[in-house]
Structure 1
Amino acid sequence: MQYYNQETYIYLDGDFVKATDAGIDLFGQSLHYGYGAFEGLRAYSTHHGIRIFKAEEHFIRLQHSCEAINLPYPWDNQVLIEKSYALLEANNLRSAYIRPLVFSGSNMHLTSAKDAHIMIAAWEWGPYLGQNLLRVCTSKVQRLHPKSFHIEAKVSGQYINAILASSEAIREGYDEALMLDHDGFLAQASSENLFIEKDLKLYTPPLGNIFPGITRQTVIELCKGLNIDVVEKKLTIQDVHEADSAFLCGTAAEIIGIKEVDGIIYKEDWEHTIGASIQRKYKKLVLEEENYEVII
């Protein structure tokens, strides 16, 4: 996929520059050690104009991710949101994926950064995992231990773990991987949160060993408005295998249903599941076809 061309602009340290002219610091910790933080946002073309969904929450999380790894964050989030909208306009984008990245300056030592830079890029990108029901498998790659890393932070280096898991799944003919935590319970997919349906209730792994996704929280809020029970509890592989249905959620993937796990096909018709109802409500929400305050 081509993310930019000769006419594409990015936002870099206060200016809009051509992506082809941005350059890269070959002596930066972010390149050598994965010492950086990023976010993923989506902009939607609505009846009220272009809207970045939950922009403030995403930039607050970016700030918290930087603070978790002692990466300076001197920027005003409202300014960054304004620049994100301006970036969409500069690239003539109405529906797009937006990627802010905070990266460190030159430093070959294993010490906290004393300065940092920010880049924001945007491009057209459909749902990350497509729109067809997924075939997923349980990965041999384990989710990072919470005592070894700030797993609640969206930090560049930790996504090597996700790359290994998803690549393994694809090699074996699946679309995505489910990852276990250090105690052997289901944590999440490589970069999405997991919900399963059983007896008209939704279940999802609790906070602690998972990434606290903004889309995950949105699903929980939608369920409250729809009087759907959501139980946060530790899930086993057997729980997922014996579920009536299941789905993944994330900003890039949005809401996407699962067809089978480890070769076990769910018998419930996806269109009649709670997940499908949430998928439809989520789409109306981000497109502002329903009043958000009423929904939650």
Structure 2
Amino acid sequence: MKYYNANTIIYLDGRFEKAADSSTDLYGQSLHYGYAAFEGIRAYKTHNGNRIFKAAAHFDRLEHSCKLANIPFPWDKQELIRETYKLLTLNKLKDAYIRPLVFCHPNMKLNQPVGVSIFICAWDWDAYSGNKLLNLTISDYERPNPKSTPMEAKLSGNYVNSILATTAANIKGYDEALLLDMNGFVAEASGANIFIEKDGKLYTPSLGNILPGITRATVKELCTVLDIECIEKKLTVDELKNADSAFLCGTATEVAGIASIDEVVYRTMWRESIGYTIQRAYKNLVLEKVNYEVII
């Protein structure tokens, strides 16, 4: 996938410039140590115009991630949102993925940054999983212990764990990896949260060892609107494999149904599952076809 071309515009520290003409310092802490915070945000073409879904929530989380990692965040978030809309216009993007990244200036010491920059880019985006049901495997890799790194923060370095897990799953022929926490409970996929359905209720892992996804929160809000009981709890592998159905959710993934976990194939037809109902409701929400926002 090509993310930019000779005409692509990016936002960097208050100015717009061509991506092909931009550069970064090879001595930066972010490059050497993965010391950076980022977000994944979606923009959609709606009947109300081009809209960034939950922009404020994403930039709030970006600031929170920086705070948890002791990375300065000196920017006005409303201004960043305005500049992001301008970035989409300059690149003539409608359905897009947006990536803000806070990265650190040159510093070879293992301490707080001596300076930071913010970079925002965007590119065309379609369904992440191709609208197919996913086959998952439980990974040999575990989610990091929250005592070793702040799991609430969306930090670049944390995603080495995700890359390793996904690569191992793909080599085995699976679409995605599902990671457990250090106690053997279900955590999340490499870049998405998980929900399971059992006896007409939804269950999702409780916070603490997972990223508190914005899409995850939106799914819970939709459950309230649609009168679907949704329970947060520690989920065991047995509960996962004995579920009626399951799905992943995330900004990039949106809502994607799961066909199987290792040797277990879910018997409930996807179109008869609660996940399918949530998938349609979520799509209507982001496209503003049904204004759930007045409720949630």
TM-score by length of 1: 0.99
Instruction: Report the secondary structure of 2:4's partner residue.
Output: coil
The 5-angstrom pairing of residues 1-296 of structure 1 reads: 1-296=1-296
For 2:294 and 2:196, the matched residues in 1 are separated by 25
Counterpart code for 2:284 = K
Instruction: Report the secondary structure of 1:238's partner residue.
Output: helix
**Residues paired across the two proteins, number:** 296
For 2:275 and 2:295, the matched residues in 1 are separated by 16
CA RMSD after TM alignment: 0.7
Q: State the Cα deviation string for residues 139-165 of structure 1 (Å, max 9, x = none).
A: 000000011100100000010000011
For 1:129 and 1:31, the matched residues in 2 are separated by 29
TM-score by length of 2: 0.99
Residue 62 of structure 1 contacts residue 154 of structure 1 at CA under 8 Å; is this kept in 2?
yes
For 1:138 and 1:15, the matched residues in 2 are separated by 44
Counterpart code for 2:210 = I
Stretches of 4+ moved more than 6 A in 1? Answer: none
Q: State the Cα deviation string for residues 193-244 of structure 1 (Å, max 9, x = none).
A: 0000000000000001111000000000000011100011111111111100
Residue 133 of structure 1 contacts residue 258 of structure 1 at CA under 8 Å; is this kept in 2?
yes
For 2:44 and 2:222, the matched residues in 1 are separated by 19
Residue 30 of structure 1 contacts residue 104 of structure 1 at CA under 8 Å; is this kept in 2?
yes
For 1:21 and 1:294, the matched residues in 2 are separated by 43
Instruction: Report the secondary structure of 2:255's partner residue.
Output: strand
For 1:289 and 1:11, the matched residues in 2 are separated by 30
Structure 1 residue 127 displacement after superposition:
2.3
For 1:128 and 1:161, the matched residues in 2 are separated by 20
For 1:215 and 1:232, the matched residues in 2 are separated by 15
Q: State the Cα deviation string for residues 243-288 of structure 1 (Å, max 9, x = none).
A: 0000000000000000010121111110010000000000000000
For 1:191 and 1:228, the matched residues in 2 are separated by 25
Instruction: Report the secondary structure of 2:2's partner residue.
Output: coil
Instruction: Report the secondary structure of 2:140's partner residue.
Output: coil
Residue 72 of structure 1 contacts residue 114 of structure 1 at CA under 8 Å; is this kept in 2?
no
For 1:35 and 1:231, the matched residues in 2 are separated by 34
For 1:144 and 1:183, the matched residues in 2 are separated by 11
For 1:268 and 1:43, the matched residues in 2 are separated by 32
For 2:163 and 2:295, the matched residues in 1 are separated by 35
Counterpart code for 1:233 = K
For 2:143 and 2:129, the matched residues in 1 are separated by 20
In structure 1, the gaps of 5 or more residues are none
Residue 213 of structure 1 contacts residue 250 of structure 1 at CA under 8 Å; is this kept in 2?
yes
**Aligned residues with identical type, % of pairs:** 58
Residue 128 of structure 1 contacts residue 252 of structure 1 at CA under 8 Å; is this kept in 2?
yes
For 1:168 and 1:155, the matched residues in 2 are separated by 21
Structure 1 residue 72 displacement after superposition:
1.1
For 2:56 and 2:294, the matched residues in 1 are separated by 20
Residue 106 of structure 2 contacts residue 114 of structure 2 at CA under 8 Å; is this kept in 1?
no
Structure 1 residue 292 displacement after superposition:
2.5
